[in-house]
Amino acid sequence: MEAEQFFKALSDLTRLRMLVMLVREGELCVCELTHALGASQPKTSRHLAQLRESSVVLDRRQGQWVYYRINPNLPTWAREVLVAMAEGIVLHSPFKEDRQSLIDMPNRPEGTCCN
Protein backbone atom coordinates (compact mmCIF):
# COMPACT_ATOMS: atom_id res chain seq x y z
CA MET A 1 0.00 0.00 0.00
CA GLU A 2 1.21 3.43 -0.92
CA ALA A 3 1.25 6.04 1.85
CA GLU A 4 -0.62 8.54 -0.32
CA GLN A 5 -3.48 6.09 -0.92
CA PHE A 6 -3.68 5.27 2.79
CA PHE A 7 -3.73 8.89 3.96
CA LYS A 8 -6.30 9.84 1.32
CA ALA A 9 -8.58 7.21 2.87
CA LEU A 10 -8.13 8.93 6.25
CA SER A 11 -8.63 12.44 4.87
CA ASP A 12 -12.43 12.47 5.15
CA LEU A 13 -14.08 12.92 8.56
CA THR A 14 -16.78 10.30 7.91
CA ARG A 15 -14.20 7.68 6.93
CA LEU A 16 -12.00 8.67 9.86
CA ARG A 17 -14.92 8.21 12.25
CA MET A 18 -15.63 4.77 10.78
CA LEU A 19 -12.01 3.72 11.09
CA VAL A 20 -11.83 4.78 14.74
CA MET A 21 -14.89 2.63 15.50
CA LEU A 22 -13.50 -0.32 13.54
CA VAL A 23 -10.15 -0.11 15.31
CA ARG A 24 -11.91 -0.11 18.68
CA GLU A 25 -14.65 -2.65 17.91
CA GLY A 26 -12.93 -5.04 15.53
CA GLU A 27 -15.88 -5.63 13.21
CA LEU A 28 -19.12 -3.75 12.68
CA CYS A 29 -22.17 -4.17 10.49
CA VAL A 30 -23.15 -1.37 8.13
CA CYS A 31 -26.25 -0.78 10.25
CA GLU A 32 -24.09 -0.20 13.36
CA LEU A 33 -21.91 2.31 11.55
CA THR A 34 -24.94 4.06 10.09
CA HIS A 35 -26.55 4.32 13.51
CA ALA A 36 -23.41 5.50 15.31
CA LEU A 37 -22.66 8.17 12.71
CA GLY A 38 -26.25 9.30 12.36
CA ALA A 39 -25.67 9.09 8.61
CA SER A 40 -27.79 7.77 5.79
CA GLN A 41 -27.18 4.22 4.63
CA PRO A 42 -26.14 5.33 1.10
CA LYS A 43 -23.57 7.78 2.51
CA THR A 44 -22.22 5.14 4.89
CA SER A 45 -21.99 2.54 2.13
CA ARG A 46 -20.27 4.97 -0.26
CA HIS A 47 -17.54 5.74 2.28
CA LEU A 48 -17.13 2.07 3.18
CA ALA A 49 -16.74 1.26 -0.51
CA GLN A 50 -13.94 3.84 -0.76
CA LEU A 51 -12.19 2.29 2.25
CA ARG A 52 -12.61 -1.19 0.77
CA GLU A 53 -11.34 -0.09 -2.66
CA SER A 54 -8.25 1.40 -1.02
CA SER A 55 -7.72 -1.93 0.85
CA VAL A 56 -7.93 -0.28 4.28
CA VAL A 57 -10.93 -2.41 5.26
CA LEU A 58 -12.29 -5.81 4.30
CA ASP A 59 -15.90 -6.87 4.22
CA ARG A 60 -17.72 -10.12 4.68
CA ARG A 61 -21.31 -11.02 3.97
CA GLN A 62 -23.50 -12.84 6.40
CA GLY A 63 -26.84 -13.39 4.73
CA GLN A 64 -28.02 -9.99 3.55
CA TRP A 65 -25.76 -8.09 5.95
CA VAL A 66 -22.26 -6.78 5.35
CA TYR A 67 -19.67 -6.50 8.10
CA TYR A 68 -16.46 -4.49 7.93
CA ARG A 69 -13.10 -4.77 9.69
CA ILE A 70 -9.64 -3.26 9.35
CA ASN A 71 -7.64 -5.19 6.76
CA PRO A 72 -5.28 -7.42 8.79
CA ASN A 73 -2.84 -7.39 5.84
CA LEU A 74 -2.18 -3.67 6.08
CA PRO A 75 1.49 -2.86 6.44
CA THR A 76 2.62 -2.62 10.04
CA TRP A 77 3.15 1.14 9.74
CA ALA A 78 -0.45 1.63 8.57
CA ARG A 79 -1.92 -0.48 11.39
CA GLU A 80 0.20 1.43 13.90
CA VAL A 81 -1.05 4.75 12.50
CA LEU A 82 -4.67 3.62 12.84
CA VAL A 83 -4.22 2.39 16.41
CA ALA A 84 -2.33 5.51 17.53
CA MET A 85 -4.89 7.75 15.84
CA ALA A 86 -7.83 5.95 17.46
CA GLU A 87 -6.23 6.03 20.90
CA GLY A 88 -5.36 9.69 20.56
CA ILE A 89 -8.75 11.03 19.46
CA VAL A 90 -11.30 8.63 20.94
CA LEU A 91 -12.15 10.99 23.81
CA HIS A 92 -12.73 13.97 21.51
CA SER A 93 -15.80 14.98 19.51
CA PRO A 94 -17.28 13.52 17.39
CA PHE A 95 -15.52 10.22 18.15
CA LYS A 96 -16.63 10.10 21.77
CA GLU A 97 -20.27 10.62 20.75
CA ASP A 98 -19.98 7.98 18.01
CA ARG A 99 -18.84 5.43 20.58
CA GLN A 100 -21.69 6.32 22.94
CA SER A 101 -24.24 6.13 20.14
CA LEU A 102 -22.96 2.67 19.27
CA ILE A 103 -23.18 1.57 22.90
CA ASP A 104 -26.72 2.93 23.16
CA MET A 105 -27.89 1.31 19.90
CA PRO A 106 -31.10 -0.64 20.55
CA ASN A 107 -31.15 -4.22 19.28
CA ARG A 108 -27.47 -4.11 18.47
CA PRO A 109 -26.57 -7.19 16.46
CA GLU A 110 -24.67 -10.05 18.01
CA GLY A 111 -23.47 -12.05 15.07
CA THR A 112 -26.59 -11.43 13.01
CA CYS A 113 -27.64 -8.01 11.91
CA CYS A 114 -29.92 -5.93 12.33
CA ASN A 115 -33.28 -6.00 14.00
* Domains observed in the chain: 3-103 (1.10.10.10)
- pLDDT < 50 stretches in the chain: 115
Q: Give tens-digit pLDDT for 3-35.
A: 999 999 999 999 999 999 999 999 999 999 999
DSSP state of 72: T
